[in-house]
Amino acid sequence: MHVATGVNLLSLFTIFQLPAKSTAADHGEDKKEAPKGLGSVITTVWEAIKEVFVLAVAAPASARVILLLRFGLSMGFHLFYTVMQVLLKDRFQFKPADYSNYFAFIGLTYAFSQLISRAIINRFGKDQTHLLIVCLFSLMCGRYVSATTLTVYVFYGSLAFTVCALGIVNTSISTTITRIASDSNVGGLMGVLDTSEKLAGIVGPAIGGGLYAYWDFAPVIVVCAGYVVLALAVFVGFPRYVLPAIDLKEKETAESKPKTE
């Protein structure tokens, strides 16, 4: 796992070594030389952290709840992925054909979750609190079973359980965003969420590799604890911040509609 973490950081280092297109010469302006090498990686990560932090502080409380949920889910995925690779290779001795079936299974299961998620979400209406809590605890159970089982059939069962729960959560988040944000702000909020996911994709694997190097089961414990924290955040944040924001938008929408005699 030390090697995997090193490869991940080396990949980032290599990416930022690629030459960037400069437009300063076209405008006849001098441009300060950008940081190179490891400094460029650190600068990029730091800029992403600042962007997410600044936008999160400026955003309303309801949007911060959604941002925390999406960032936490992304971190959980990338932390657990370090363990998943070891499980597939060492415990279940996956061959190339097995990896192909594995990813195909994930794709089909996620597609199925999208078929059923809309009907499930509509049953809960605008209050998605209990649905999200159930899905987050389902993710916790699915991750734990995937990390501990010795049977490949149980592994695939827990994987299907996890992917379906994740698909429902993602659809619920997207639905909630459209309910709390105005038409002009939906794109901006989506952009902030996308940036937070990219940030999780940068720091998550490195943290997961460090945890695995310390103890091979540490990433699983951290991920499961993270789902509990997210469930508590949803339990407190949705009724206090998200639902009032949805009610406010519905009221503003109703008032903006032209009245007919």
In this prediction, residues 241-250 reach a mean pLDDT of: 84
Residue 25 belongs to a domain: no
In this prediction, residues 166-192 reach a mean pLDDT of: 78
Residue 158 belongs to a domain: yes
Domain at 219, CATH number? 1.20.1250.20
C-alpha closest to that of 140 among 228, 218, 44, 33: 228
| Percentage of residues of the chain with pLDDT beyond 90 | 32
3-state secondary structure of 157: helix
> Residue 175's pLDDT is what?
87
In this prediction, residues 134-146 reach a mean pLDDT of: 94
- Quick one: CA torsion of 193, 197, 202, 206, rounded to 10 degrees? 130
Contact partners, residue 18, CB within 8 Å, separation at least 6: none
- For residue 240, the 8-state DSSP code is I
What is the number of structural domains in the chain? 1
Residue 205 belongs to a domain: yes
pLDDT, one tens digit per residue, over 87-116 is: 888 888 888 888 899 999 999 999 999 998
Residue 27 belongs to a domain: no
Q: What is the pTM of this model?
A: 0.75
Residue 202 belongs to a domain: yes
Long-range CB contacts for residues 8-15, cutoff 8 Å, separation at least 24: 8/205, 8/206, 8/209, 9/41, 9/206, 12/41, 12/202, 13/37, 13/38, 13/41
Residue 173 belongs to a domain: yes
The answer to whether residue 82 scores a pLDDT higher than 80 is yes
| C-alpha to C-alpha distance for 159 and 146, rounded to whole angstroms | 7
Domain that holds residue 56: 2-15+36-249
Residue 21 belongs to a domain: no
pLDDT, one tens digit per residue, over 206-228 is: 888 888 888 888 999 999 999 99
| C-alpha to C-alpha distance for 141 and 9, rounded to whole angstroms | 30
Residue 258 belongs to a domain: no
